[in-house]
Amino acid sequence: MTTTTAQDQIRDTVTKNDVVLYMKGTKMMPQCGFSSRVAGVLNFMGVDYVDVNVLEDAEIRQGIKDFSDWPTIPQLYVKGEFVGGCDIITEMTLSGELDQLFEQRGVVYNKDAADQIRAANN
């Protein structure tokens, strides 16, 4: 019998899904402001993503920080690659870099919604 570690579980999740958000709470009920902001951007842009609630599993909560060598949650992964946390995702959304990343990686999103976010924050 093989035991899966938190690291194995995380690696498995981020490689099998195009977009993964490790967050406090869920995409429908975020449990912290930073998680809420990133989930809100992804939801508004119509991105299909998997949400992992780190509050449900202490090993995953610590494991994701070790996995990415990043101290905070939320953490966004696109096509297996760590993109960043709340501040980075916010900056990337406002600069258009997130759009470019999604386009390069073949992730479907609503360009008009992304433009609306930028217009509202100018």
Is 90 inside any structural domain?
A: yes
**Mean pLDDT, to the nearest integer, of 69-80?**
97
**Mean pLDDT, to the nearest integer, of 10-14?**
97
Q: pLDDT, tens digit, for every residue of 22-37? A: 999 999 999 999 999 9
pLDDT of residue 1: 54
Is 54 inside any structural domain?
A: yes
Specify the amino acid at residue 7.
Q
Is 1 inside any structural domain?
A: no
Task: Work out the percent of the chain whose per-residue pLDDT is above 70.
Answer: 98
Give yes or no for a contact between 24 and 53, defined as CB atoms under 8 angstroms apart: yes
Annotated binding residue at 86?
no
* CATH assignment at residue 110: 3.40.30.10
- Domain count for the chain, please give it: 1
pLDDT of residue 2: 58
Is 22 inside any structural domain?
A: yes
Residues 6+ apart with CB under 8 A from 4: 12
d(CA 56, CA 60): 8
**Mean pLDDT, to the nearest integer, of 40-60?**
97
pLDDT of residue 33: 97
**Mean pLDDT, to the nearest integer, of 69-88?**
97
Q: Which domain holds residue 46?
A: 6-120
pLDDT of residue 122: 82
pLDDT of residue 4: 79
Q: Please, what is the average pLDDT of the chain?
A: 96
Vertex 79: Cα angle to 77 and 80 (nearest 5): 60
